[in-house]
Amino acid sequence: MTARVIAAASLLLVLAGCASLGSRLESPRVSVVGIRALKADLFEQRLEVRLRVENPNALDIPVRGLDVNVELADEPFAQGTSAREFTVPAHGEAELDMLVTAHAATALLRIATAGREEREQVGYRLSGKLSTRLGLLRSIPFEETGTLPLGDLGSKKRRAE
């Protein structure tokens, strides 16, 4: 009976430790470094997006994969999933390339009809989640905003900022 009580208490301590880890873990910052067009037709575009993942936490984040949704000019633009595994070091960053599929007609129409100053840059919003190998914490959501020079969209070359 005593062994069961000790085992149950140990399990509760482990679970409490994991729960407290999750409450103190800050979401990583994810930003677009560059975009490269791979294939495009009237209805769908395949893009390679280079992302930077910054880890504000004091522990490494072992990433199993990434799901991302991209909005341009407040319109849905692209989405993608990557099963690439990588580690974002504590208080560090990592970059990765991932493929996304864009159904861009609405966003591109809005950009094309925007004012001249708005046409030089476009606002983006990234949202999604990192799938991790952090014990009970299996995914970490993120949401970030920024701007991209319009010359980067549809470009065959990658732009690094």
For 154, the token pair is 């549809």
Domain boundaries, the chain: 28-152
Q: Which residues of the chain have pLDDT under 50?
A: 5, 7-9, 11-22, 155-161
- String of b and e for 139-152 (b: at least 16 CB within 10 Å)? ebebebeeebebeb
The 10s digit of each residue's pLDDT in 100-142 is: 998 766 566 665 665 555 557 888 899 999 999 887 778 999 9
For 28, the token pair is 């990583």
- Contact, 129 vs 137, CB < 8 A? no
Q: How far is CA 66 from the centre of its chain?
A: 6
Task: Please provide the CATH number assigned to the domain covering 28-152.
Answer: 2.60.40.1820
Query: What's the pTM?
Result: 0.71
